[in-house]
Structure 1
Amino acid sequence: MTEATPALGCVGQPRVLAGLDTLPRLDRADHLAVHGPLPLYRPEELVELAEDIDLRGRGGAGFPFARKLRAVMRTARSRDGRTAVVVNGSEGEPSCLKDKAVLLHAPHLVLDGALLAAAALGADDVVVGVTRDDVERSLRTAVAERGPAGSRVRVARLPERFVTGEGTSLINGIEGGPALPNGQKVRTSDRGLGGVPTLLSNTETYAQLAVAARLGASGYCSAGLPAEPGTVLLTVAGSTVVEVPTGTSLAYVLELCGYSPGQGVLVGGYHGRWLTAAAARSVALSRQSLSSVNAVLGAGAVLPLPEDTCPAGEVARVARWMADESAGQCGPCVRGLPSLATAVEELVAGGGRAAWDAIESRMRAVRGRGACSHPDGTSGFVASALAVFPDELRDHALGSGCGRRVLGALPLPADENPERLVVDWTLCRGHGLCADLLPDVVRLDADGFPAQAVMPVPERFRAKALRAVRRCPALALRIQE
């Protein structure tokens, strides 16, 4: 899979991304020149700092960081005192690149936050879980640049999958097991790495902690909203990472990055929620503002849907990928999500009211029943699309469609060496049967001919592609590897 490297930007004065306007990466010396030395905090002082700035996890759930710290301390006191610190740098969703950007360009800020927390907790183990070659290299280089002080940090390489970032998946993978959720409702603050109380949070959270430790609570709260201070990192359209103060207009950030709300905006990634274009123009990047439109910032992914792509087809692509990315360990993942993805695909292909009803039925069947949050998150994504794009999805269900191609505006990993459906223009007569059989691959132009001569065929559509080749009345199609 191609490893995307995001562009960087900011609104106002950067903090986490400070110094990266002139340097591609901050080594140890550059890091200290930009950010200065890291002060030490006693345990209660660090908890107080996190409370004063209302620091929350930036990986999706938004759990208060101070509560995590207190929970680890409380459990450790009731046992032998041992603790661990884990940084979740997996970010297994292709629409999210902000944590990768920080680890690639400013890794020492993340290490500062993790080591600061480890010192306050008295933790012996500090582990950073990553999934990419370039991120692993950047971190190992940063650890080496710290000399003996970096010897406490271990970098663990994990498989790049959506479910790798789930807490128990990450711990299992670091310990040498399969990076899959264990289905047990046990908090890592009670039993995590090596069975000891573990402080687990994502990359940006530790970076923000390191920024706050240097600025102090009052300095940190000088940016953003009074009730929600500081900055947040966003991944816009799967390609640009932007640091913005909380309370910034979402529409302004999109405009800054060269986008408009289009047909709507997906906020929070593939476990997030769709906003209508009108809502996206009015909402601000804060918990309160987003909650007013039933959305959360989650992992910070912001995905505008362009006017010229098919919403139904985009949703179907992601639903299938999410089904394929499941842990495959419980019924809602093994059967429920693939069935849901199939129902969405059948609706897109003109499955009528039966396909719409099947989607509703599949969503009810998986909600609240999974061993982790993946079934709920995926069904929520589909339900949100039904609410925001009802006309487009209804047109597809009735067979008329919306007339737009699927441009892949919602980023997914590229298929490795996909087969291709090739049109022989000397034979094609524009019967259109190929588009009827393979609507997710073949789109017709205004004259009724395939709009492209060569079309990648994902593995899940191979059987349909072969059927289209066999049934073409003009024998104008072939599969090419």
Structure 2
Amino acid sequence: MTPPVAVSHLGGPRLTLGFDRFDRLDLARHLAVHGRLRAPGLADLVEMAEQVDLRGRGGAGFPFARKLTAVAARVRHPGADDLPPLPGERRGARGPSEDVVVVVNGAEGEPGSAKDRVLLGRAPHLVLDGAQIAASALGTRRIVVAVEDGEAARSVRAAIAERRMPTRVVRLTERFISGESGAVVRAINGEAPIPPGVKVRAAESGVDGCPTLLSNTETFAQLAVLVSLGPDLYASAGGEDEPGTTLLTVGGTRVVEAPLGTPLRAVLEHCEVPPSPGVLVGGYHGMWLDPPGAARAVLSRAGMRRVGGTVGAGIILPLARGTCPLGEVTRIASYLAAQSAGQCGPCRLGLPDVVRSLTALADGSGTVEDVRRAAGVGRGRGACTHPDGTARFVLSAVEAFAGDIDVHRQGGTCGQPTYGVLPLPVPTGEEGRVAIDWSRCDGHGLCAYLVPELIQLDRYGFPVVLGSDIPAWMERDVAKAVAMCPALALRVTGGITGSAARRP
């Protein structure tokens, strides 16, 4: 069962307008709250997006107008007049191009994020308005909503039925990397839902090989608000250089709409967050801020850059006092290592080395230099951004928690337990981990040869197991290693595939 998410706002609500009166805005309530939207032509829509510098809200912050024009440059069939109108829209002079696809990326594999789930669950018509505005400007009927959460998927399907709008809903696998644009396109195309490994621009070749406008759920909702308010009124909130509002997920359980340019401390005070030894901004591919940095931080691209942070996908995770900061960071790094697609060396070998170096640092046997070296090996060389994002998370932690690390290096511990306060997915029971039966292990070393990502040998030739879940892409190799262990000492605890991995 998905935990409930509290929703509030600082300043006037826009995306969350009507949430104080309705749990969910069906079509009638949506029209009563937001009104009937017009559908601007392509040139007008691009100009409006440029005027307010509308950026994607999925993490990368790419200018929406540039995405729109890149896709429009590929349109091959402009001109007819048979597009389905928005609710209340008058038909214009645009024509359908079946070669263009608009994709709402509702994947929210990041455990600390809930904003897209809230939007799709409570204001689905606002998101669909934005998608249909973009589709109308591009001259296409083809809209796909890709979503992970089951409740959000049901809400979107109900909204589509109300609008009688030919829109496809695709369920995605709930994984950290499932929201990457290439992974979303592959999932829609019926392929393995992992990043493609080679950079392919969706604007050139996306769904079914067609030019595809793919953007985050909130981005399309922001587009609908922009068209509803107009650029001038839209820019009345937020900063001069970065106007508008944004949705923030605080602590994984609370969504707050706030104007861009709001001090981070104002959001934390609004959510009654107690003083924290560090605040993670931007999620698990984001950056840690120490208390002085968090006190100076402003929720904008420029404001976050000044303190070494990032707005990213609007995820804010304050670390509670009383838990071991280094233990929490190691725990999340272990999760990220297990969530990789396993397509390249930086993920297969680099991320496990990061976890090993953090584990050694936590018990006092490692150094910060070891962590930096492990995190830097694969930077810029990955098949996707996962290694770079994980390195950013880890390296910023080394800076933010320098005091705690010094204590660990001196005594092997900081004296605090690791409570696991940073959010991770609820275990399903299907996760497995490698374990060694030490009463049988003779140090043959074959396991380290077969699965070096999870097992390495110490100086005496005995296996040292990485304490992380077995990635899906390694299940077959692990089962083979279990079956081939000469001493029958290798096994899997928990549940992955195959009887070979469970042999007593």
CA distance in 2, matches of 1:83, 1:138: 25
Quote the Cα distance in structure 1 between the aligned partners of 2:12 and 2:71: 34
Q: Is 1:303–2:317 an aligned residue pair?
A: yes
Aligned to 2:59: 60
Output aligned runs, 1:17-416, within 5 Å. 17-77=16-76, 82-147=99-164, 150-151=165-166, 153-353=167-367, 356-416=368-428
Secondary structure of the residue aligned to 2:387 is helix
In 2, the alpha carbon distance for the partners of 1:97 and 1:4 equals: 10
Task: Give the drift of 1:120.
Answer: 0.3
Aligned-residue offset at 1:4: 3.1
Q: Which runs of 5+ in 1 are unaligned?
A: 420-456, 461-465, 467-481
Alpha-carbon contact 1:110-1:210 (below 8 Å) kept = yes
In structure 2, distance between residues paired with 1:25 and 1:81: 32
CA RMSD after TM alignment: 2.0
CA contact (8 A) 2:276 2:291 kept: yes
In structure 2, C-alpha distance between the alignment counterparts of 1:189 and 1:52, rounded to whole Å = 22
Secondary structure of the residue aligned to 1:398 is helix
By how many angstroms is 1:414 displaced? 2.2
Alignment TM-score, normalising by the size of structure 1: 0.84
CA shift, 1:76, in A, is 2.5
Contact (CA 8 Å) 1:320, 1:342: kept in 2 or not? no
Give the secondary structure class of the aligned counterpart of 2:74: helix
Residues 365 and 412 in structure 2, CA contact (< 8 A), matched pair in contact too: no
- 1:146-189 deviation line (CA, Å, top 9, x unaligned): 12xx12x1100010011111111000001111101111112111
Does the aligned pair in 1 maintain the 2:338–2:469 contact within 8 Å?
no
* Distance in 2, Cα, partners of 1:458 & 1:179: 22
1:339 Cα deviation from its structure 2 partner: 1.8
After superposition, what is the alpha-carbon deviation per residue over 1:131-152, rounded to whole angstroms, capped at 9, x for unaligned?
Answer: 11111111111111112xx12x
- Tell me the amino acid that sits aligned with residue 405 of structure 1: P
In the alignment, is the contact (CA less than 8 A) between 2:279 and 2:316 conserved in 1?
A: yes
Contact 2:101 2:143 in 1 (8 A): yes
The code of the aligned residue for 1:164 comes to S
Distance 1:326 1:458, change over 3 A: closer
C-alpha distance after superposition, 1:432-467 (max 9, x if no partner): xxxxxxxxxxxxxxxxxxxxxxxxx9868xxxxx9x
Distance 1:352 1:192 in 2: 44
CA offset digits 1:403-429 (Å, max 9, x no partner):
21222221111223599xxxxxxxxxx
Q: 1:86 to 1:418 in 2, by over 3 A?
A: closer
Report if the CA contact (8 A) 1:99-1:203 is conserved.
yes
SS in 1 for 2:71: helix
TM-score normalised to structure 2 length:
0.80
Query: What displacement does 1:3 show?
Result: 2.4
> What CA distance in whole angstroms lies between the structure 2 residues aligned with 1:316 and 1:78?
52
State the match for 2:498 in structure 1. none
Instruction: Provide the secondary structure at the position in 2 that maps to 1:15.
Output: coil
Describe the SS at the equivalent of 2:280: strand
User: What amino acid maps onto 1:22 in structure 2?
Assistant: R
SS of the residue aligned with 1:70?
helix
Structure 2, unpaired ranges of 5+ = 79-96, 432-466, 471-488, 490-504
Query: What one-letter code is carried by the residue in structure 1 that aligns with 2:351?
Result: L
Partner SS for 2:192? coil
Higher mean displacement: 263-272 or 397-406: 397-406
Secondary structure at 2:411's aligned position in 1?
A: coil
Change over 3 Å in CA distance of 1:42–1:370 after alignment to 2: same
CA contact (8 A) 2:98 2:142 kept: no
Give the whole-Å Cα distance in 2 for the aligned partners of 1:351 and 1:92. 33
CA distance in 2, matches of 1:84, 1:139: 18
More displaced stretch, 396-405 vs 156-165 = 396-405
C-alpha change, 1:41 and 1:330, in structure 2 (3 Å) is same
Equivalent in the alignment of 2:2: 3
Alpha-carbon contact 1:223-1:231 (below 8 Å) kept: yes
